[in-house]
Amino acid sequence: MSFPTDRPRRLRINETMRRLVRETILTPNDLVQPIFVVPGEGIRREIKSLPGQFHFGVDEAVKEAREIFASGVPAVILFGIPGSKDATGSLAWDPNGEVQRATRKIKKAVPELLVITDVCLCEYTDHGHCGVIKQQQVLNDPTLELLGKTAVSHARAGADIVAPSDMMDGRIGAIREALDEALFPNVAILSYAVKYASAYYGPFRDAAGSAPQFGNRNGYQMDPANFREALREVELDIEEGADMLMVKPGTPYLDVLAKVKETFGRVTASYQVSGEYAMIEAAAAIGWIDRRRLILETLTCIKRAGADFILTYHAKEAANWLKNG
């Protein structure tokens, strides 16, 4: 049966009909808001490379967390920017670090809001790499212990989910073991399983002061040209005990996201990263696109491709739009 008998436009005839047959419905439940925490109190400073996003002191981060939860968003992901950096990134596992303090205060103020913590060293190392360095090489195995310590310090502070973003081999197993040994069997691991070496992270690295001081991350993050390798990374992380997987960046990697979801059927997240945000904001600022439509369309597309949830800098704002129709 085909035209003129079959007319797909019948099911698009008006908004009520379109509502009836719509396949993908974006809700606040699908969104996770990143928060950048800096030293000091009373600080709420707009980030140049991420207009509309802020560096928060711990007290301001708590206020922000309340607003986020009120918008209907179920989780935040915390990134810390320490007051000083060193060769091993030792402030990453400091019990009084920005992430640890913010986690404690947010869990106290808004207990139902899930706190995810980004586990990595690049914000804390003076060289800006995600692991321990020797002769300009990022050493894999010595880094694992430090990631384990960092994850445990987040769990002690009350994190619900830890999210390692370093791309060292074996880190999911090492972190699971460290958490279990420290008696945190219920803290979940969201693995940045498929993380590409991407130019889309530029604004984040400005915001976090985490750009590598020499070289680049191509020796540990994935080559954007590779697809089969993504499935291998996911397979390993599942074997090692990842509870949830992430594909990152978001929109440019929807093919990978869809395949990971279809192949493994696990809880799979997408991270719409800082460069994606910056591109939307820049185009909107000069009036070249309809900002709100584009944000909602993009998030819907990421969900349609298979994301169970989306980490996005637009989470709070989009959730408020969705909530209020």
Residues assigned a catalytic role: 195, 248
Q: Closer to ligand PBG at the Cβ: 168 or 187?
A: 168
Q: Of the candidates 26, 58, 65, 122, which one interacts with ligand PBG according to CB under 6 A?
A: 122
Tokens of 272: 């719409």
What is the biggest distance separating any 2 CA atoms in the chain, rounded to whole angstroms? Answer: 71
How far from 4 is each of 11, 16, 21, 207, CA to CA, in Å?
A: 15, 24, 21, 56
Q: Which does 201 bind (CB under 5 to 8 A by kind): Zn ion, ligand PBG, none?
A: ligand PBG
Binding flag, residue 253, ligand PBG (CB under 6 A): no
Q: Of the candidates 274, 298, 319, 322, which one interacts with ligand PBG according to CB under 6 A?
A: 274
What is the closest distance, in whole angstroms, from the C-beta atom of residue 6 to Zn ion in the complex? 52
Q: Closer to Zn ion at the Cβ: 122 or 175?
A: 122
Give burial (CB, 10 Å; 0-12/13-18/19+) of 111.
exposed
Stretch 124-143: interaction string toward ligand PBG, x if CB under 6 A: ------x-------------
Binding flag, residue 122, Zn ion (CB under 5 A): yes
**Which residue spans within the chain are E strands per DSSP?**
31-37, 44-47, 50-56, 75-80, 114-119, 132-134, 137-139, 161-164, 188-195, 244-248, 268-272, 309-312
Q: Closer to ligand PBG at the Cβ: 25 or 34?
A: 34
97 φ/ψ angles, rounded to the nearest 5 degrees: -65, 170
What is the closest distance, in whole angstroms, from the C-beta atom of residue 118 to ligand PBG in the complex? 5
Binding flag, residue 91, Zn ion (CB under 5 A): no
The packing angle between helices 291-304 and 274-285, to 10°, is 150
Q: Of the candidates 69, 93, 204, 220, which one interacts with ligand PBG according to CB under 6 A?
A: 204
Binding flag, residue 78, ligand PBG (CB under 6 A): no
Q: Closer to ligand PBG at the Cβ: 116 or 120?
A: 120
Q: Of the candidates 60, 64, 98, 118, which one interacts with ligand PBG according to CB under 6 A?
A: 118
Q: How many residues does the chain have?
A: 325
Binding flag, residue 162, Zn ion (CB under 5 A): no
CB burial readout 264-298, b (16+ within 10 A) else e: bebbbbbbbbbbbbbebbeebeeeeeebeebbbeb
Residue among 282, 261, 276 nearest 196 (CA): 276
- Residues in contact with Zn ion, total (CB under 5 A)? 3
Beta strands 50-56 and 44-47 are antiparallel
Contact footprint for Zn ion (CB under 5 A): 120, 122, 130
Contact footprint for ligand PBG (CB under 6 A): 118, 120, 122, 130, 165, 201, 204-205, 273-274
